Amino acid sequence: MIGIEHIKAIHMNDSLKPLGSRVDRHANIGSGTIGLEAFRLLVNDPQFKAVPKILETPKGDNELQDDKRNLDILKNLIST
């Protein structure tokens, strides 16, 4: 609708609730309703390679480990 050229950043998180639920609850990458395949497509799309991505996923007692786990999942989805 707005054109890919206008996308300046991508908010990376899975969703606990389905599209249209009007609930903004984040899930870890691949464990929500969006699923791994959507993230695989996104991280491998050359149109978005240079677009900054912001990881905003749930945090437990060890925030650094939680972020590392989600980043590792995303990195493992990148095709070489």
Q: Which domain holds residue 10?
A: 4-77
Beta-bridge mates of residue 55: 12
Q: Is the dihedral of CA 42, 11, 73, 23 positive or negative?
A: negative
Distance between CA atoms of 56 and 29, rounded to whole angstroms?
10
Confidence of residue 17 (pLDDT cuts 50, 70, 90): confident
Q: Is the dihedral of CA 13, 19, 25, 28 positive or negative?
A: negative
Q: What is the pTM of this model?
A: 0.84
The fraction of the chain above a pLDDT of 70, given in percent, is 94
Biggest CA–CA distance in the chain, Å, is 40
pLDDT of 16 above 90: no
Number of folded domains in the chain?
Answer: 1
Query: What confidence tens digit (pLDDT) does each residue in 50-72 have?
Result: 999 999 888 888 888 999 999 99
